Structure 1
Amino acid sequence: MDNFKIDDVAKECGLTKRTIRYYEEIGLLSAPDRSDGGTRLYTRDHIDQLKQIVNARDVLGFTLQEIQDFVSISNRLAQRHQEYLHTEDVEQKRQDLQDIERIVARQLEIIDQKLAKIADIRQATEVRYQSVQDALNKLNE
């Protein structure tokens, strides 16, 4: 497994080193292993996790608290998925899938709530835009 230094991770994720350390400090990012000299050694999983955080923050406009909730849900999902993969018991697989279904449904709820807020903001902006267009048209008559 490849290890990456914080400079490389920061470049790839478009974050500052300080932000990465902060995300680690508040529990958004799992702590990386360290070299004998104390240098943080990040994995591809850390990079993928940071990219998910950046997308939740930038694309969906999540607050840090919402990101923490979303990451927590994602971690539970990954755990349940591993349990599902490692059991042969059909009833246990059914239970695992039902749990996974609930977890994914919760993620969808969070995203839908954010999208509804975005739609409200867009509609209000659209009304403002139309008012400006109407005023311009009146001036041009």
Structure 2
Amino acid sequence: MDLLKIEEVAKRTGLTKRAIRYYEDFGLISAPERTQGGIRLYSESDIEKINKILLVKEVLGFSLAELQQYLEFQTIIEQQKSEYRTTEDREARKLKLIEMLSVLQKEKTMIDTKLLRMEQFKEELLGYEKRVLTAIDQLKE
């Protein structure tokens, strides 16, 4: 498995080296392996995680704190899925599914809240647009 230095990760993700280190400090990504000299070494898995974070941030407009919470939810869901697959007891499996459902609903609520805020901004812009169009029409007369 090839490990990449932070410069290569920066090129492949579009982040600065400083941002990558900040994501690590903030807990969005795990601390990477290091050489004896302390140089960070990242795996393809690390790059995939960073790119997923960037996608969620871009598409949903999450703040870093919201991203952190979202990633915690994702970790819990993955853990629940793994435990569900390895458990044969029907009642235990049902409980795992109920726990997953609860986390999924929390994630959905986060997204719904963000969408509501976006819709409010859109409505405000539409109001401005309408006033500008009205003013333009009045100037034509």
Same fold, judged at TM 0.5 (above) = yes
Tell me, what secondary structure is at the counterpart of 1:59? helix
Cα RMSD over matched residues?
A: 1.6
State the partner residue of 1:72.
72
Cα shift readout 1:35-61 (whole Å, capped 9, x = no counterpart): 344322222322222122212322222
In structure 1, what is the Cα distance between the partners aligned to 2:94 and 2:4? 38
Where does the alignment leave 5 or more consecutive residues of structure 2 unmatched?
Answer: none
In structure 2, what is the Cα distance between the partners aligned to 1:3 and 1:107? 32
State the partner residue of 2:112.
112
State the partner residue of 2:132.
132
In structure 1, what is the Cα distance between the partners aligned to 2:28 and 2:72? 8
Name whichever of 116-125 and 76-85 sits farther off: 76-85
Report the alpha carbon displacement of residue 6 of structure 1 after superposing the two structures with TM.
1.6
In structure 1, what is the Cα distance between the partners aligned to 2:24 and 2:123? 37
State the partner residue of 1:102.
102
Write the letter of the residue equivalent to 1:40.
R
Cα shift readout 1:88-118 (whole Å, capped 9, x = no counterpart): 2222222111111111111111011001000
In structure 2, what is the Cα distance between the partners aligned to 1:24 and 1:71? 13
Cα shift readout 1:40-85 (whole Å, capped 9, x = no counterpart): 2222322222122212322222122111111111111121122122
Report the alpha carbon displacement of residue 2 of structure 1 after superposing the two structures with TM.
4.0
Report the alpha carbon displacement of residue 131 of structure 1 after superposing the two structures with TM.
0.6
Write the letter of the residue equivalent to 2:109.
E
Q: TM-score, normalised by structure 2?
A: 0.89
Tell me, what secondary structure is at the counterpart of 1:126? helix
Q: TM-score, normalised by structure 1?
A: 0.89
Where does the alignment leave 5 or more consecutive residues of structure 1 unmatched?
Answer: none
Write the letter of the residue equivalent to 1:15.
L
